[in-house]
Amino acid sequence: MSLKKFSIRRLSALAIGAGLAAGGAIPVVPALAQQATPPIALAPGAPDKHVVVKGDTLWDISATFLKSPWRWPEVWQLNREQIANPHLIYPGDIVYLDTSGVSPRLRLGKRVDGMAANGQGSGDGIRRLEPVVRAEQLDKEAISTISSASIAAFVNRPLIVDIKGLAESPRIVATQEGRVYLGRGDRAYVRGIKEDGITDWHVYRPAKPLLDPDTRQPLAYEALYLGTAQVVRKGDPTTIRIVDNAEEIGEGDRLVPAEAARAINFAPRPPEKDVAGKIVSVYRGITQVGRNSVVALNRGKNHGLDVGHVLTVQLTGRLAKDREANELVKLPNEPIGQLLVFRTFDNIAYGLIVDASQSISVGDSVANP
């Protein structure tokens, strides 16, 4: 039997939320079956052996061992009787890739002081296990899929609002004396708070339109997250204290009740429908981005996009002049990366760039992988 072990490089999850932040393991949702998908192909030069270490991620393992990293849930699923949940793999474990069958399978091993846990040694001190069910305490730090730090701040933000934006939300009317802009610990004065019992608020800059790159019509309105605040004294105006801030906060900025942390459990998979869209913005106004950057798409729930969907990013083909025929020719789109959708609205979705061979910009296309 031919075995190759997954080299696990950087670990951290497609399951993002309160449970992950607290150090708990979050179950992964099985990928949906896809029709007419090509066989799973291994990346050339995949290493034979590697012990799981703290800081490894499932996505980066897949990028090292699979030509299509997003297909790792299919590989795990082929061996569900042994590895019921890939997020319950811990540093010190050893994961083998069995390539003896039609499709690759994963097998789990464990090193115990240079000997196999069953007392039988092997040439490299590693035990080759037969399929078994293994239970682990959840107080250990389990392996996750991608870096939680990359998207945790975006799970509940930025905020998509209607055409009125935040016009009816409470607003900061004055800042602490002597301060034009506020930071952590500073106080501000707010009018328009009508809700009783709400003490924690998110602070946003008034919304800007997200324009469709083709029609130039507004798709939605995005408010820029600035930080969090807490009510210190009720009244008119109400006094608030800035708890933390990602940007400078000042007069005219708006308040929205703080949302509870939203746990998201998902596995990467292609969309069930054909998706053809474009990147309409990159977060915080940067024009070009790379890996681990957040972008907004002009496709959302209404177009079949859901959390966990993987899309290929393509450089939109330009028009070239065929001088001999005296006509313009549309060049094909070229793949330059992949993104993972982690939050969706009706006509907008936010995705994390998980792979990029060159800079990715507003106007680049997205499509099924």
pLDDT band at residue 106 using 50, 70 and 90 as cut-offs: low
Q: What is the pLDDT of residue 156?
A: 54
Q: Where are the alpha helices (DSSP H) in the chain?
A: 18-21, 58-65, 72-77, 148-151
For residue 60, what pLDDT is reported? 72
Contact 171, 252 (CB under 8 A): yes
**What's residue 275's pLDDT?**
93
Question: Residues 23, 27, 31, CA angle at the centre, nearest 5°?
Answer: 140
By the 10 Å C-beta count (0-12 exposed, 13-18 middle, 19+ buried), 333 is classed as: middle
- Count of C-beta atoms within a 10 Å radius of residue 169: 20
- Does 68 score more than 70 pLDDT? yes
Domain 276-367 homologous superfamily, CATH: FlgT, C-terminal domain (2.40.10.410)
pLDDT given at position 269:
87
For the chain, the domains span 1-156, 157-257, 276-367
Alpha carbon 190 to chain centroid distance?
34
User: What is the per-residue pLDDT across 193-227, written as a single tens digit (0 to 9) for each?
Assistant: 987 789 999 999 877 788 888 888 888 888 888 99
Q: Can you give the length of the chain in residues?
A: 369
Q: Is it the case that residue 129 has pLDDT exceeding 50?
A: no
pLDDT at 136: 44
pLDDT band at 249; cut points 50, 70, 90: very high
Largest CA distance in the chain: 77
Q: Residue 356 pLDDT > 70, yes or no?
A: yes
HSE-CB at 355 with a 13 A cutoff on CA atoms is 19
Structure confidence at residue 121 (pLDDT): 44
Pairing of β 349-356 and β 334-344? antiparallel
Question: Residue 284 pLDDT > 70, yes or no?
Answer: no
Beta partners for residue 195, in sequence order: none
pLDDT at 282: 84
Contact by Cβ (8 Å): 2, 98: yes
Judged by average pLDDT, the poorest of 146-150, 256-260, 300-304 is 146-150
Q: Who contacts 232 (Cβ-Cβ below 8 Å, separation ≥6)? A: 187, 239, 240, 241
The proportion of the chain whose per-residue pLDDT surpasses 70, expressed as a percent, equals 66
3-state helix, strand, coil in the chain (%, to 5): 10, 35, 55
Query: In this model, does residue 12 exceed pLDDT 70?
Result: no
d(C-alpha 21, C-alpha 19), whole Å: 5
- Any idea which of 88-97, 138-147, 223-232, 347-356 has the lowest mean pLDDT? 138-147
Q: Between 239 and 177, where is the model more confident?
A: 239
Query: Is residue 172 scored above 90 in pLDDT?
Result: yes
Q: Which of the two residues, 349 and 10, has the higher pLDDT score?
A: 349
Structure letter (DSSP) for residue 243: E
Contacts of 289 (CB under 8 A, 6+ apart): 282, 295, 353, 356, 359, 360, 361
> What is the per-residue pLDDT for 3?
47
* pLDDT tens, residue by residue, 78-95: 555 555 555 566 777 777
Section 347-354 average pLDDT: 88
Determine contact, residues 298/281, Cβ cutoff 8 Å: no
Higher pLDDT, 9 or 191: 191
Contact 350, 323 (CB under 8 A): no
| pLDDT class of 189 with cuts at 50, 70, 90 | very high
pTM for this entry: 0.64
- The answer on pLDDT for 242 being more than 70 is yes
pLDDT computed for residue 212 by the predictor: 85
pLDDT, position 118: 39
Is the predicted pLDDT of residue 123 greater than 60, yes or no?
no
Whether the CB-CB separation of 193 and 255 falls below 8 Å is answered with yes
Average pLDDT over residues 323-352: 90
Of residues 78 and 342, more confidently modeled = 342
Q: Please report, as a single letter, which amino acid is at residue 99.
A: T
Task: Work out the average pLDDT over 343-360.
Answer: 89
